[in-house]
Amino acid sequence: MVRANPVYTSQTCSRCRVVDANSRKNQAEFVCTACEHTAHADVNAAPNILGAGRPCQPVETSAPAGLRSRNP
Ligand SMILES: [Zn+2]
Protein backbone atom coordinates (compact mmCIF):
# COMPACT_ATOMS: atom_id res chain seq x y z
CA MET A 1 0.00 0.00 0.00
CA VAL A 2 1.16 3.50 -0.80
CA ARG A 3 2.13 5.46 2.24
CA ALA A 4 0.38 8.76 2.78
CA ASN A 5 0.58 10.99 5.79
CA PRO A 6 -2.72 10.32 7.57
CA VAL A 7 -2.54 13.59 9.45
CA TYR A 8 -2.01 15.63 6.32
CA THR A 9 -4.77 13.93 4.36
CA SER A 10 -7.16 14.26 7.26
CA GLN A 11 -6.66 18.02 7.12
CA THR A 12 -7.25 18.24 3.38
CA CYS A 13 -10.71 19.13 2.11
CA SER A 14 -11.82 16.57 -0.46
CA ARG A 15 -13.88 19.23 -2.22
CA CYS A 16 -11.61 22.28 -2.48
CA ARG A 17 -8.26 20.69 -1.50
CA VAL A 18 -7.52 23.34 1.10
CA VAL A 19 -5.29 22.03 3.87
CA ASP A 20 -6.09 23.47 7.26
CA ALA A 21 -5.67 21.85 10.63
CA ASN A 22 -8.63 23.86 11.85
CA SER A 23 -10.85 22.04 9.39
CA ARG A 24 -10.43 18.95 11.51
CA LYS A 25 -12.85 19.62 14.31
CA ASN A 26 -12.15 16.37 16.09
CA GLN A 27 -11.25 12.76 15.46
CA ALA A 28 -14.46 12.05 13.58
CA GLU A 29 -15.64 15.31 12.09
CA PHE A 30 -14.26 17.39 9.23
CA VAL A 31 -15.59 20.87 8.50
CA CYS A 32 -13.66 22.79 5.86
CA THR A 33 -12.75 26.29 6.96
CA ALA A 34 -12.67 27.46 3.34
CA CYS A 35 -15.81 26.04 1.71
CA GLU A 36 -17.67 24.66 4.74
CA HIS A 37 -17.71 21.21 3.25
CA THR A 38 -18.65 18.83 6.04
CA ALA A 39 -17.91 15.14 6.22
CA HIS A 40 -16.97 12.37 8.52
CA ALA A 41 -13.22 12.78 8.83
CA ASP A 42 -12.38 9.30 7.61
CA VAL A 43 -14.74 9.59 4.66
CA ASN A 44 -13.28 12.93 3.69
CA ALA A 45 -9.72 11.67 3.92
CA ALA A 46 -10.25 8.56 1.83
CA PRO A 47 -10.10 10.18 -1.64
CA ASN A 48 -7.19 12.30 -0.45
CA ILE A 49 -5.22 9.20 0.46
CA LEU A 50 -6.03 7.58 -2.87
CA GLY A 51 -4.88 10.64 -4.78
CA ALA A 52 -1.73 11.31 -2.78
CA GLY A 53 1.60 9.63 -2.43
CA ARG A 54 1.88 8.08 -5.84
CA PRO A 55 5.35 6.57 -6.08
CA CYS A 56 7.60 7.80 -8.91
CA GLN A 57 9.31 4.45 -9.27
CA PRO A 58 8.83 1.13 -7.54
CA VAL A 59 11.79 0.65 -5.23
CA GLU A 60 13.55 -2.70 -5.37
CA THR A 61 15.19 -3.28 -2.01
CA SER A 62 16.24 -6.88 -2.52
CA ALA A 63 18.57 -7.73 -5.38
CA PRO A 64 18.16 -11.17 -6.91
CA ALA A 65 21.04 -13.16 -5.39
CA GLY A 66 20.86 -15.94 -7.96
CA LEU A 67 22.35 -13.81 -10.74
CA ARG A 68 25.79 -13.64 -9.13
CA SER A 69 26.30 -17.39 -8.68
CA ARG A 70 25.76 -18.19 -12.35
CA ASN A 71 29.48 -18.17 -13.31
CA PRO A 72 31.70 -20.87 -11.74
ZN1 LIG B 1 -13.22 22.88 1.32
Distance (Å) from CA 4 to ligand 1 centroid = 20
CB 23 within 8 A of CB 15: no
Q: List % helix, strand, coil for the chain (3-state, nearest 5).
A: 30, 10, 55
Flag residues of the chain having pLDDT under 50: none
Distance (Å) from CA 22 to ligand 1 centroid = 12
The per-residue pLDDT for 71 is 62
Distance (Å) from CA 2 to ligand 1 centroid = 24
Domain ranges of the chain: 6-54
Distance (Å) from CA 27 to ligand 1 centroid = 17
The per-residue pLDDT for 64 is 61
Spatial separation of the C-alpha atoms in residues 55 and 24, rounded to whole Å? 27
CB 31 within 8 A of CB 64: no
The per-residue pLDDT for 54 is 58
CB 55 within 8 A of CB 3: no
